[in-house]
Amino acid sequence: MTIIEETAGSPAPDASRDADRPLLEVRDLHVEFHTRDGIAKAVNGVNYSVDAGETLAVLGESGSGKSVTAQAIMGILDMPPGRIPQGEILFRGQDMLKMSGEERRKIRGNKIAMIFQDALSSLNPVLSVGYQLGEMFRVHQGLSKKEAKAKSIELMDRVKIPAAAARVNDYPHQFSGGMRQRIMIAMALALEPDLIIADEPTTALDVTVQAQVMDLLAELQREYHMGLILITHDLGVVADVADKIAVMYAGRIVETAPVHELYKRPAHPYTKGLLDSIPRLDQKGQELYAIKGLPPNLTRIPSGCAFNPRCPQAQDVCRTDVPPLFPVTERDGGALAGRGSACHFWKETIHG
Amino acid sequence: MAEPEKTSEAVDATPNVARVETVDAATEEQAVAAIDAPVERGEPILQVRNLVKHFPLTQGILLKRQVGAVKAVDGISFDLYQGETLGIVGESGCGKSTVAKLLMMLEKATAGEVFYKGQDITKLSGRALKAVRRNIQMVFQDPYTSLNPRMTVGDIIGETFEIHPEVAPKGDRRRRVQELLDVVGLNPEYINRYPHQFSGGQRQRIGIARGLALNPEIIICDEPVSALDVSVQAQVINLMEKLQDEFNLSYLFIAHDLSIVRHISDRVGVMYLGKMAEIGTDTQIYDHPTHPYTQALLSAVPVPDPEAREGRERIILTGDVPSPANPPSGCRFRTRCWKAQDKCAQEVPLLAVPERFKTSDSPAAHESACHFAEEKDVVHAA
């Protein structure tokens, strides 16, 4: 059995090969935080890539490192206490971690934009939404205040905020939760970026509004042919919009798969446990399956596979050897594109 | 209630004030006795009738005048039966948490009655109210803010016994707290730890132990798992179901997660803007919803099955929930409803079994507050 290895010695940046290179590629990213209790290893070797027009869902519980990875990509990680000891984040083949602050600023907002979870605390309460939206144009494109405001109204129309021209001077608190999240989306879209990172964009919203916002996001993504990294813990949302999924646990990706495959045949006991533990609307069982135990403390990640203390299939090898991301194949060895599982017993999990 | 025996007034020599007090004490005694009496399984233990809570909106600093009211709860009625779980779902701002506070008597109702074993608890006070409070306990949403960070787990759970000393004698309390910790699946040796030493799921277990401490009959759970991770949610839900069987509890389970509510509830009520839109058994609501709001709500829930995403019909509502300070006339849902007609703006639909289903015994025959109620299976639609 072979192990997925990132091609050693990355190819020299070559403009002509831009087309077949993924839009964004994260390679062996590590992030740690220095705390009083020791070093918290939030991200421990994450690899993933997103193409234009593709939706990658990063699924994980709190503390799994999904948001920290996104912050590292955006370059908004607090450093210190955060530190990136190794890894590469390639945007169109260029390592952003090696760029100067000035170069990164040109990418941030312009090429890669982010939508945050809590729209109320992400917007400045003392500035009107029109001013905050217009800031993108004033700073990145040097437009005048008047031109920027006109653009803001256009954007608010674009994300279907009713009476945009009348509301452009309103403040964030005057909008409802769903409308505020639309403003966040508008702000991310302002400069038509190539990639949008949405960190739990609908968690704070009600289901009926969540459906509206996710629909809008999908529609805009199709229109602008953007890449989308959707960070969430909601298995339902993922099933609705994702193309491929990366499941994270304790700072590592434990399983990657195309969306249909993952739900049909999970190849990692953690993914399997998560899928079994959700009560489904169309089936009422007796007792829910529950993954026993708790997610690990990031300053003391268990040796071997981080999931081993909670895993029903754990053997001795799981406590000593860290499982790499094995490529997952059919029973007869037939390849399954895009599938990987960081479990020593992935065969038993998927086929057993 | 102070004058039930007018005829004896003339012959009674004792001063009027003292006599009223004794009568009060007697009725209180009766009330306490009624509250402590057991209720048969399947009998209503809590009956809510036309419960209303309006929060006044005032203007001016010195001379406050009321300029309106936020109609958080505007006339809802339901029964909670002994031993069952009644789920209440609805979007934020629909008044579900206010209902919880009213039932706990943490807020005073503007109008309406809440009968607990036949006693209207909104009118009780003193000893009788204290007895009711012992029997109705609550588990809160946020396990991070609902536990005092400066108190140990033993103090947090044991504090209930200081207020209701009759439940556990003084020397016995520590043992009782340890027993409770064991019941909710925590190590009894953790009794001297502080809340910050526990994870979210463990904290919620402490909250549940506190709710159980006084052997209540009803536990009101206000979004008990929404702050927890998916893998931990299942553990807490399983624990709550186990405890219900063990202690014969009735749950009022308030949540916005429809799949969890369906899993745990026997009956479900759907609230919209301070009113009950539809109420029925879990099958009636989930498989045979007749109110358009319920249908929209159910169809909007993302199903964790990618196969379903193409075929599924989704009703996506436009706009937001209107402000409860100025709700629409007639049916409150009409501003977002695709079926709305003139009648909906004029007449408030009553929560009743719709006329067309009255004679049928199909599962669609349950209470629904819609003029144009019609069955639509949105969950299985494919």
Q: What is the pLDDT of residue A19?
A: 55
Asked if B102 contacts B114 with a C-beta cutoff of 8 angstroms, the reply is yes
The model carries a pTM of 0.81
User: Higher-confidence residue: B376 or A312?
Assistant: A312
Contacts 24+ apart (CB under 8 A), B359-362: B362/B288
Residues in chain A: 352
Task: Please tell me the predicted confidence (pLDDT) of residue A38.
Answer: 85
Over 50: is that where the pLDDT of A11 sits? no
Q: Which long-range contacts (CB under 8 A, 24 or more apart) does B283-287 make?
A: B283/B363, B284/B363, B284/B364, B284/B366, B285/B366, B286/A281, B286/B258, B286/B262, B286/B379, B287/B363, B287/B377, B287/B379, B287/B380
pLDDT at A18 (0 to 100): 52
Taking only the tens place, the pLDDT of each residue in B277-314 is 999 998 889 888 999 999 998 888 887 777 777 767 77
Mean pLDDT of chain A: 84
Q: Report yes or no: B245 at the A interface, CB cutoff 8 Å.
A: no
Average pLDDT over residues B172-198: 89
Across the interface, whether the CB atoms of B232 and A275 are under 8 A apart is answered no
pLDDT for position A5: 43
Instruction: Identify the CA nearest to B371 among candidates B297, B292, B296.
Output: B292
Q: What is the mean pLDDT of residues A169-190?
A: 86
Q: Is B263 on the interface with A (CB under 8 A)?
A: yes
pLDDT band at B49 (very low <50, low <70, confident <90, very high): very high
Residue B305 to residue A234, Cβ atoms within 8 A: no
Residues contacting A12, CB < 8 A, separation 6+: none
Most B CBs within 10 Å: which of A176, A206, A208, as the mutation test of the B interface?
A208
* CA atoms of B12 and B23, how far apart (whole Å): 13
Q: What is the pLDDT of residue A282?
A: 58
- 3 state SS of B17: helix
Whether residues B304 and A209 touch (CB distance < 8 A) is answered with no
Closest CA to B107 of B58, B178, B56, B64: B56
Cα dihedral value B323, B328, B332, B336, nearest 10: -80
Cα–Cα distance between A188 and A210 in angstroms, integer?
A: 18
Cβ separation of B241 and A61 shorter than 8 Å?
no
With vertex at residue A114, the alpha carbon angle to CA A74 and CA A124, rounded to the nearest 5 degrees, is 110
Count Cβ neighbours within 10 Å for each residue of A272-301 and write b for 16 or more, e otherwise: bbbbebbbbbeeeeeebbbbeebbbebeeb
Count of A-B CB contacts under 8 Å: 129
- Average pLDDT (B318-322) is 79
Whether B322 and B361 have beta carbons less than 8 Å apart is answered as: no
Reply yes or no on whether the pLDDT at B246 is more than 50. Answer: yes
A79 vs B96 pLDDT, higher one: B96
d(CA A322, CA B91): 44
pLDDT in tens, A124-133: 999 999 999 9
Chain A contact present for B202, CB below 8 A: yes
B303 with A236: Cβ contact below 8 A? yes
Buried b (16+ CB within 10 A) or exposed e, A110-146: bbbbbbbbebeebbeeeebbbbbbbbbbbeeeebeee
Which pairing describes strands A227-232 and A195-199: parallel, antiparallel, or unpaired? parallel
User: For residue A213, what pLDDT is reported?
Assistant: 84
Strand partners, B320: none
Of B91, B230, B262, the CB nearest to A206: B91
Confidence band, pLDDT 50/70/90 cuts, at residue A254: very high
Q: How confident is the model at residue B360 (pLDDT cuts 50, 70, 90)?
A: confident
* Residues 6+ away with beta carbon under 8 Å from B194: B149, B150, B151, B152, B153
Closest CA to A201 of A70, A295, A298: A70
Task: Find out whether B216 and B249 touch, Cβ atoms under 8 Å.
Answer: yes
Nearest to B263 by CA among B87, B140, B79: B87
Q: Are B353 and B365 in contact (CB under 8 A)?
A: yes
Contact at CB, A284 and B235, closer than 8 angstroms? no
pLDDT of the residue at B8:
42
Please give the distance of CA A242 from its chain centroid, rounded to a whole number: 11
**Segment B48-70 mean pLDDT:** 86
Contacts of B225 in chain A (CB under 8 A): none
| B355 to chain A, closest Cα gap in Å | 28
Question: DSSP letters of A311-332?
Answer: -TT--HHHHHSPPP-EEEE-TT
> Of the ranges A174-178, A307-311, B245-249, which one carries the lowest mean pLDDT score?
A174-178
Give chain B's domains with CATH numbers.
46-58+69-265 (3.40.50.300), 269-368 (no CATH)
Chain B residue whose CA is closest to A175: B320
> β-strands A88-91, A38-50: how paired?
unpaired
Taking only the tens place, the pLDDT of each residue in A22-31 is 889 999 999 9
Residues paired with B233 in a beta bridge: none
pLDDT in the model for residue A284: 62
Q: Residue B180: left if φ>0, alpha if ψ -120 to 50, beta else—which one?
A: alpha
pLDDT at B26 over 80: no
Give first-to-last CA distance, chain A, whole Å.
18
How many whole angstroms separate alpha carbon B293 and alpha carbon B311?
21
- Going from the C-alpha of A113 to that of each of A124, A136, A195, the distances in angstroms are 17, 11, 6
Q: What are the tens digits of pLDDT across the range A273-325?
A: 888 888 765 556 567 788 888 888 888 888 889 999 988 888 888 888 899 99
The alpha carbon of residue A263 is apart from the nearest alpha carbon of chain B, in Å, by: 7
Span A35-84, pLDDT tens digits? 888 888 889 989 989 998 899 999 988 888 888 899 899 888 887 888 89
Report ipTM (2 d.p.). 0.75
Average pLDDT (A91-102) is 87
Query: What's the mean pLDDT in A191-218?
Result: 85
B266 close to B78: Cβ distance less than 8 angstroms: no
Per the CB < 8 Å rule, is B230 touching A236? no
Statement: residue B51 has pLDDT above 60: yes
> Quick check: A112 and A46 in contact, CB under 8 A?
no
What's the pLDDT at B61? 79
Average pLDDT for residues B357-368, to the nearest whole number? 81
Please give the DSSP secondary-structure letter assigned to residue A301. Answer: P
Peptide bond into A80 cis (omega under 30): yes
Residue-level pLDDT at A9: 41
Amino acid occupying residue B85: T
Alpha helical stretches, state H, chain B:
16-36, 96-103, 126-135, 153-163, 173-183, 200-212, 230-247, 258-264, 282-287, 292-300, 308-311, 342-346
pLDDT band at B153; cut points 50, 70, 90: very high
Instruction: Tell whether A237 is within 8 A of chain B (Cβ).
Output: yes
- Measured between beta carbons, the chain B residues lying within 8 angstroms of A207 are 91, 256, 258, 297, 300-301
Chain B CB contacts of A176 under 8 Å are 320-321
Give the phi and the psi of residue B70 in degrees, each rounded to 5.
Answer: -85, 115
How far is residue A300's CA from residue A86's CA, in Å, rounded to a whole number?
20
Residue of A277, A284, A194, A344 lying closest to B237 (CA atoms): A277
Higher-scoring residue by pLDDT: A16, A57: A57
Average pLDDT (A209-213) is 82
Residues contacting B212, CB < 8 A, separation 6+:
B137, B180, B183, B184, B219, B243, B247
Domains of chain A: 20-242 (3.40.50.300), 252-351 (no CATH)
Residue B18 has pLDDT above 70, yes or no: no
Per-residue model confidence (pLDDT) at position B157: 92
Q: What is the dihedral of CA B210, B216, B222, B223, to 10 degrees?
A: 70
Predicted pLDDT of residue B24: 64
Q: What is the pLDDT of residues A221-237, one digit of tens each?
A: 888 889 999 998 888 88
pLDDT for A7 equals 42
Best interface-test mutation with B: which of A243, A259, A281 has the largest number of B CBs within 10 A? A281
CB A183 within 8 A of CB A123: yes
pLDDT at residue A280, rounded to an integer: 67
Within an 8 Å CB–CB cutoff, is residue A282 touching chain B?
Answer: yes
Q: Residue B240 in contact with residue B251, Cβ under 8 Å? A: yes
Percent of chain A with pLDDT over 90: 19
Please state, as a whole number, how many other Cβ atoms lie within 10 Å of the Cβ of residue B73. Answer: 31
Identify the three-state secondary structure at position B5: coil
Q: What is the pLDDT of residue B381?
A: 46
- Looking at chain B, the whole-number percentage of residues with pLDDT higher than 70 is 92
Q: Tell me whether B259 touches chain A (CB under 8 Å).
A: yes
